[in-house]
Structure 1
Amino acid sequence: MANASLAVSTVIFALRSSGRFGEDGGRRGLWLPLVRRIREPYDGMWALPGGPLGADEGLAEAATSTLAKTTGLAPRYLEQLYAFGDPGRSGEGAGSADGAGSGERVVSVVYWALVGDEEARAARVGQNVRWFPADELPALAFDHALIVEYALWRLRNKVEYSRIASAFLGRSFTLAQLREVYEAVLGRALDPANFRRQIEASGALEDTGEVLTGVRHRPPRLYRYNATVDLADQGPLGRLAQK
């Protein structure tokens, strides 16, 4: 039986317009950071941030540590996505997807993270770390293209029934800002009037009683989600980890 090792990788999504974070020009879309590999297999190709699981690390701890080292990010939304462990996913030859030795089968526990503008602006970039539009990715090493595709599918499904959209926003936001998140995630334009009716009918939001300041026209109202659970509610396991 072939040796197996455990690794942790993360898919990070942020809202961004072309150019720098925080720009108001152009429609925003989903972007994610990739890390350029500097060893075989797939030397020089882009891959998701990740690494082998340390002997004394928990899974979420490893995902958080790797993100901090590679991108400088510390997302407030971090959730386990899936485990990928098909034979041969680590490629041929020396090395593996996440640092295991030659011939080892690597099982990667993948997390996904969502970051807002402020978090994304603090991200580390450089020759071997770069942000790409989620719908215009280069060829990725290993099975990371499949992982990103699955993460996108999961995000697009979850935004329809949860308060996950607020992970891209501050604690309060306008309906237009919320609609922008939905449009970026779903990849299509939404009718503003229909969107407002659907969101108001859902009962998920509450009016903060405040308005957005610093705008030329009539200040729009600010809303917030009225849910009391955390964005990434891990249930009993999450409460146990906090003790």
Structure 2
Amino acid sequence: MSEYPPFAVTVDLVVLTIRADGLAVLLVRRGVPPHEGAWALPGGFVRLDEDLPRAAERELAEETGLTGAATHLEQLGTYGTPHRDPRGRVVTVAYLALLPDLPAPIAGTDAAGAEWLPVARVRKLAFDHDRILADGLERARAKLEYSPLATAFCPPEFTVAQLRAVYETVWETRLDPRNFHRKVTGTPGFLVPVGRATEGERGRPAQVFRRGPATALHPPMLRPTTDR
């Protein structure tokens, strides 16, 4: 008999997008015990023949119908508190995925439903998913300060106003349009003009950009300390 007790590995996903009603997270309604009927993050057990990122992509597709959709997928953290799962000793590796607005997901496998829910309306989740979601939200908010991650919420080509709306939604604050425009267009490698304009705020032409080659923002886009 082995001196090491058996345990399982799962992946869970914090999938964020921006919809008309604000920052939203993808949740599934559990169709089987434990926590049957409760909302949870999409995820599941890792198979013996797959690595962790592949398991995350598979679970996202199986439980929601979203395939190859995430424009950003990164490992968020590992959670292994004893008794976090009543089925046994289960360690989960959480991933953070960000993507532009998409249609309603389609539930599959053991999920009874799948929906985008506004982050502000999320209450109690199954397992320790409240903690994982909170960590994912803080990771996304912090990374907007020092990386071009906000563009993952945008279409391939976007205006500064659309980018500012991402920052305002994720940070839950208002930003001065002129100061924001000056900062993002003055940060080396953040944005690249595509050479055309579209109708912007108040009907004025707005220059269109795409994400630039920068992987870090210098100087960073610091979050306001208080709402404006």
Same fold by TM-score greater than 0.5: yes
Q: Is 1:6 aligned to residue 9 of structure 2?
A: yes
Distance 2:90 2:107 in 1: 27
Q: What SS does the aligned partner of 1:83 have?
A: strand
With over 3 angstroms needed to count, the CA separation of the structure-2 counterparts of 1:216 and 1:179, relative to structure 1, is closer
Cα pair 2:200 2:206 within 8 Å, conserved: no
For residues 190 and 224 of structure 1, the distance between their equivalents in structure 2, rounded to whole angstroms, comes to 21
Superposed displacement of residue 192, structure 1: 0.7
For the structure 1 residues 149 and 216, does the alpha-carbon distance in structure 2 shift closer, same or farther, using more than 3 Å as the test?
closer
Q: Tell me the equivalent position of 1:176.
A: 161
- Given the two structures, how large is their TM-score scaled by the length of structure 1? 0.79
Contact preservation (8 Å) 2:28, 2:107: no
Q: Which residue is 2:192 aligned to? A: 206
**Residue 222 (structure 2) aligns with:** none
Aligned length in residues: 206
Q: TM-score, normalised by structure 2?
A: 0.83
- 5 Å matches for 1:84-233? 84-91=79-86, 95=87, 104-117=88-101, 120-121=102-103, 123-124=105-106, 128-203=113-188, 204-212=190-198, 217-227=203-213
**Structure 1, unaligned stretches of length 5 or more?**
19-28, 96-103, 230-243
Structure 2 CA distance for aligned equivalents of residues 170 and 160 of structure 1: 20
Alignment CA distance shift 1:190-1:138 (3 Å): same
What's 1:22 paired with?
none
Tell me: CA distance 1:148–1:218, structure 2 relative to 1, closer, same or farther (3 Å): same
Identity of aligned residues (%): 41
Report deviation, 1:215: 8.8
Alignment-derived partner of residue 24 in structure 2: 31
Rounded to whole Å, the distance in 1 between the matches of 2:126 and 2:32 is: 11
Instruction: Report the AA paired with residue 131 of structure 1.
Output: W
Which residue of 1 is the match for residue 49 of structure 2?
A: 56
Tell me the distance in 1 between the aligned counterparts of 2:200 and 2:118.
30
Greater share of strand residues, 1 or 2? 2
Cα displacement string for residues 49-104 of structure 1 (whole angstroms, at most 9, x for unaligned residues): 1110001111111110111111111213111111111111113xxx3xxxxxxxx2
CA spacing shift, 1:213–1:190, aligned 2, 3 Å:
closer
Unpaired runs of 5+ residues, structure 2, are: 216-228
Whether contact under 8 Å (2:197, 2:207) holds in the other structure is yes
SS in 1 for 2:181: helix
- Are 2:34 and 1:41 equivalent residues in the alignment? yes
CA contact (8 A) 2:193 2:209 kept: yes
Measure the CA separation in 1 of the matches of 2:201 and 2:23: 25
CA distance in 1, matches of 2:172, 2:142: 12
User: In the alignment, which residue of structure 1 is the partner of 2:19?
Assistant: 16
Cα RMSD over matched residues? 2.0
